[in-house]
Amino acid sequence: MSLTLFMRSELPEGMYEWKEGRTNKMTTRDLNILRNYAWKKGAKSIYYVRTFTENNDEIGANACESCTI
């Protein structure tokens, strides 16, 4: 099974225990933790990661300068 991972750019407070006492902004560490969790649950391929901002704008590889190089 493969999927697209949709994430919020700012996570609600208290949603994940590893975010306690840290920034609520999504980080690459968070993505790695969630990818490992998805793998353990059976999602063997994540093709895209899409991040949504609080005003519902979508940010993805097309908007990320380092991802398109």
d(CA 66, CA 63): 9
The model's confidence at residue 64, banded by pLDDT at 50, 70 and 90, is: low
pTM for this model (two decimals): 0.62
Distance of CA 60 to the CA centre of its chain: 10
Tokens for 60? 């993805």
d(CA 39, CA 45): 8
pLDDT per position as a tens digit, 29-57: 888 888 888 889 888 887 777 777 777 66
Q: Tokens 């901002």 map to which residue?
A: 53
